[in-house]
Chains A and B, each alone.
Chain A
Amino acid sequence: MTRRYTVYADDDKKVLEVSDQPGPLVSVSAPPPRPGQAPATHPFLSASAYDPFTEGTLRQILLKSTSFDDFLAKLREAGYRVVGQKNSGA
């Protein structure tokens, strides 16, 4: 079963939703890709980011991560709250 998590910043603001399925990386704050543009994808997760001011930091953490679980661990180390979503494998 797909594992899904919601990531919150200090102020309990939702900043990321992430699952362990390879797939697209989406910035909800930015406009959709231009027509015909392929998605930015990732080999071990798919995610949607919700806060423009933390997206860059989250991306940096992702780039340093070696696996899905490593990404979650690094997020927690950085002070984010990572919560498994109901009815998912988390």
Chain B
Amino acid sequence: MSERVYETDALDHRPNPGALRTVEDSKTSRRERFMTAGGILRLQRMAGNASVTTLLRQPLGLQRSAPVAEDASPGTGTAADAQLALAPPAVTTTAPMSAGAAVSQAPATAKTPEEVAGTKPLLRLHSSGVAVKELQSRLNLAGAKPSLNVDGLFGPRTQKAVRHYQAISGLSADALVGRKTWLALGVYKETRSNADKDRKAALDKITIDTVAHGSSTAAVAAAKTVQEQEWLNLDLVGLKQLDGLTIELHVIPHNKKMTDLDEFKALKGQTTFDGRLWDDVRGINMGKDGKKIRSAVGEEALIAIKGQASGYGPGFVTSHETGHALKNSLTATQLTTLTKLFSDRVKDHPPPAQSAADDADWLPPSWYTGANENEYMADSIAAYFSHPHSTAATTVTMYTPGWLAKNDAKMYAFLQTIF
């Protein structure tokens, strides 16, 4: 994937790289950071160890990403199951609207890589079969002397070789071939490597741009943080749906109107369906147009601008609009699932239609989240990544993966299949 930050009002001049100026650092170094982040995220997916991810991310200056509750299996999602997977409740440590804000919690129930990838059986003396053959092959590759016959029979010679290998690998020499021994033999490392290769190939076919338009570096960085959280955490299936697409997020400077920007000037003087003048609207999701997915967010919704408080919670607008854009990553089956999820939700919990008062079953603003499946998905994604609609305590509590898992387990399970 290429990932760029542009400081230009004339994206139409692309793709002439010479006409572009990168704001933060070189394109190459940003790409490297991105791929490193992707590697960590993939490690997290494999390992389920968000705490490790957090630690690894810190030196890179990147934010922790998806609040993946690894133990909750997609599709099995009862509320109770999902809640268990999230225990203890998510802790949000959101820094106030600044670059590097919005660090969300890590679920505590972490698995080691071998536990997550643990498809290999426990082997011991007298075991037999294909797995034993693999074990013998790997022991031979590791230098077993004498070399073992790869016959699939775990006899005394294989037992001795295992014991020796465990001893030199710093493992308990019990001759039981479990997760740690398989891991030492490189089984999971190889699996992870293959997964990395597939993801890298998919990511290489996607371009993610952040367009500054003169907005502050801090605002652009905050926008990129959310982009990284959401796009880079997509499952491989979703990434493949985005093949060849360019995803643009424009940051509207606090002292400019959205329609001052070339990409949105066609909306100048027009109104939204609910009666707002587009010139005064501080964000947009344009959907997919050809090979481009374009959205925008006001600078003041990303960082604190004196006298221009957006009122939204940290990262919310970016997360919400990105949530809309993420619909382009869904397969036909997932789109059908989303439609059914919304339909069932409305049937089971009719949303308030005409009131600003919120409803405990719908993310606030309830009437808005319950208005259509797009808003339902976009707000649910914002909750999944802990970006609350406002800073009100109740809202902050609800915009969390923990709330979703407990109160809308089906949507939570659905999001787990996407991210």
Q: Residues of A with Cβ closer than 8 Å to B?
A: 16-17, 21-41, 46-53, 55-56, 58-59, 62
Closest 5 interchain pairs by CB? A35-B390, A49-B273, A23-B353, A27-B272, A31-B283
Give the residue name and chain of the A residue nearest to B275 (CB): A40
**From B271, B285, B371, contact of A55 by CB (8 A):** B271
Q: Contacts A34-B312, A53-B267 known; A29 to B284 CB distance under 8 Å? A: yes
**From A23, A28, A62, contact of B374 by CB (8 A):** A28
Let me know if A27 and B267 touch, CB within 8 A.
Answer: no
The residues of B that contact A62 with a CB separation of less than 8 Å are 273
The residues of A that contact B367 with a CB separation of less than 8 Å are 23-24, 39
B270 in the interface, Cβ–Cβ < 8 Å? Answer: yes
Query: A63 CB to closest chain B CB, in angstroms?
Result: 9
Name the segment of B121-129, B221-229, B317-325 touching the other chain: B317-325
Q: Contacts A30-B281, A32-B365 known; A25 to B266 CB distance under 8 Å? A: no
Let me know if B282 and A32 touch, CB within 8 A.
Answer: no
B310 in the interface, Cβ–Cβ < 8 Å? Answer: yes
Let me know if A53 and B371 touch, CB within 8 A.
Answer: no
Give the residue name and chain of the A residue nearest to B278 (CB): A52
**From A23, A26, A35, A58, contact of B354 by CB (8 A):** A23
**From B276, B310, B321, B354, contact of A24 by CB (8 A):** B354
The residues of A that contact B392 with a CB separation of less than 8 Å are 35
Q: What are 15 contact pairs spanning A and B, CB under 8 A?
A: A22-B353, A23-B367, A29-B272, A30-B284, A31-B321, A32-B320, A37-B365, A38-B356, A39-B354, A41-B354, A48-B374, A48-B375, A49-B272, A52-B284, A59-B272
The residues of A that contact B301 with a CB separation of less than 8 Å are 31
The residues of A that contact B275 with a CB separation of less than 8 Å are 25, 40, 59
**From B274, B285, B364, contact of A25 by CB (8 A):** B274
Interface string of B295-324 (1 = CB under 8 A from A): 001000100000000111000010011001
Let me know if A40 and B282 touch, CB within 8 A.
Answer: no
Interface size on B, residues (CB 8 A): 43
Q: Provide the bound-state CA to CA distance between A37 and B368, in Å.
A: 11
Q: Provide the bound-state CA to CA distance between A62 and B24, in Å.
A: 46
The residues of A that contact B149 with a CB separation of less than 8 Å are none
Give B348-380 interface residues, CB cut-off 8 Å to A.
353-356, 364-365, 367-368, 371-372, 374-375, 379
Query: A73 CB to closest chain B CB, in angstroms?
Result: 18
Give the residue name and chain of the A residue nearest to B354 (CB): A41
Kindly name the residue among B285, B286, B297, B321 whose own CB sees the greatest number of chain A CB atoms within 10 A: B285
Give the residue name and chain of the A residue nearest to B295 (CB): A29
Q: Provide the bound-state CA to CA distance between A56 and B271, in Å.
A: 5
Query: A35 CB to closest chain B CB, in angstroms?
Result: 3
Let me know if A27 and B320 touch, CB within 8 A.
Answer: no
Query: B230 CB to closest chain A CB, in angstroms?
Result: 16
Let me know if A34 and B311 touch, CB within 8 A.
Answer: yes
Let me know if A31 and B282 touch, CB within 8 A.
Answer: yes
B395 in the interface, Cβ–Cβ < 8 Å? Answer: yes
Query: A86 CB to closest chain B CB, in angstroms?
Result: 11
Name 14 extra pairs, CB < 8 A, besides A26-B371, A31-B281, A56-B273: A16-B273, A23-B354, A25-B275, A27-B276, A30-B278, A30-B281, A31-B321, A32-B317, A32-B320, A35-B389, A39-B368, A48-B371, A50-B287, A59-B271
